[in-house]
Every structure is written in C-alpha cells, then in structure tokens.
Structure 1
Amino acid sequence: MCTHTPTCPPANSADREAAIVVAAHPEQGWSLLCNAVVIFEDTGELLPDGRVVDPHRPVGALV
C-alpha cells in the first residue's frame, strides 16, 4: 500500500505511470513502481494482475 503523500495512482488508473519508483534496474531495462506496476524502458508495462500493456512510444512523423 502506498504511504506517499499524495497517494500514488493505483495500477488500474490511466495515470498509473505517475507512481513513484521504488526499485530501479536500468541495466536490465525495468523499474518497479509503488503501485506494483513494472515499467520497461520500451514503455511496456506489467500490471500486478499479470496483464501486459504493450509498448506505447509516440510514433514520429513519417517523412
């Protein structure tokens, strides 16, 4: 449970990535957020219930 003030957004909210990082492993490409979401450097996510969020990098303009 989050003890931060203000409370971190829950894992099922749209702004879940705004939660505070509690463990960072940049050498492995992932971080654990306070709300138990694992975020990856490619912008993918693993939610606490096991669901996967595909990477969602912004796509640049095609020239």
Structure 2
Amino acid sequence: MCVHQPPCPTADSTDREAAHLMALFPEQGWSLLSDGSLLFEDTGELLPDGSVVAPHRPNPAAERGATA
C-alpha cells in the first residue's frame, strides 16, 4: 500500500507503527497504516495477516509500583 519513498516499514517489522497514516477514525478508536495494519487507540494492533499485537501502552501506575 505504501507508494512513497523511502517506503514505510512493513507490518512484520518491529518499527511498523512508524508507517504513515492512510485513514484516521478517532471517533471509532482506530487508524489504518500504510502497511495495512490497524492501530487502535489502546495501542493494540491488527496486522494484515490477521495476527494481533496486544496493547502496549505504558502503565504509569505500574511503573510507580502502585497496585490496583
């Protein structure tokens, strides 16, 4: 899907979130990246092959050692 130069990272690369936004739907909580991935507002991802990347947003409370 990526047509610019240099091309964006592929969906299977570790820096896939650096791909350009193709469509943004903040009211629905997701964006389409140029590598075909769906990026959700909770930082979870759905890759073009159907695999899922769990949300990986930093948790400030956990970093401080707080318990929920």
Q: How high is the TM-score relative to the length of structure 2? A: 0.87
Q: Report the Cα distance in structure 1 between the residues aligned to 2:9 and 2:34, rounded to whole angstroms.
A: 9
Q: Does residue 62 in structure 1 map to residue 65 in structure 2?
A: yes
* Corresponding residue of 1:42: 42
Pair member with larger Rg: 2
* Corresponding residue of 2:15: 15
* Root mean square deviation of aligned Cα: 0.9
1:5 deviates by: 1.6
Which consecutive aligned stretches of 4+ in structure 1 deviate over 2 angstroms post-superposition? none
Higher helix fraction (1 or 2): 2
1:59 deviates by: 2.1
Q: Report the Cα distance in structure 1 between the residues aligned to 2:6 and 2:52, rounded to whole angstroms.
A: 26
Q: Report the Cα distance in structure 2 between the residues aligned to 1:2 and 1:39, rounded to whole angstroms.
A: 16
Identical aligned pairs, as a percentage?
62
The number of residues matched between the two structures is: 63
Where 2:17 maps in the other structure, the secondary structure is helix
Unaligned runs of 5+ in 2: none
